[in-house]
Amino acid sequence: MQGEDLGRWVQAQRHGYEKLQPAQQWLLAHVLGLEPAGEDEQPVKRTQGDKWNLNLAAARQYRAREGHLNVPRKHVEELSVEDAGPAASGREATPDNTVPVALGMWVSNVRRRAEKLTVERRGDLDQLGIRW
């Protein structure tokens, strides 16, 4: 929502509950219905590789549907949870079982940072026909 990953925010609030002020804890509990994370709950850590794979899956889906990767900067691709695979773990799925991926922003960023990408990652994008 508005550039904020709400699932990540909720996870951070639940796992950092004891560090919050009493008023913040009250708001989370009584207004949003959030409780502190249980001792047996571990925060989900996504690696850079997981994030790359999620965005690449979204790019493949977009390319298959549209025939190009000229993605508008504000475009959000809805990727099915099945297609997202383990890279989507810890992300909040929508009611229709999809995961929103800010694909337009990601494509813009990889184009801008192309010289910093590994040969393998550039190859992944070259295979999709990205316009550098």
* Beta-carbon-side half-sphere exposure of residue 62 (alpha carbons within 13 Å): 26
pLDDT at 45: 74
Q: Which residue has the tokens 């997202």?
A: 84
The per-residue b/e assignment along 92-107, b for 16 or more CB within 10 angstroms, e otherwise, is eeeeeebbbbbbbbbb
Report d(CA 101, CA 61) in Å as an integer.
11
The pTM of this model reads 0.64
pLDDT in tens, the chain (132 residues): 566 678 778 888 999 999 999 999 999 999 999 999 888 887 767 788 989 999 999 999 999 999 999 999 999 999 987 766 655 555 555 557 788 899 999 999 999 999 999 999 999 999 999 988
CB atoms within 10 A of CB 55: 21
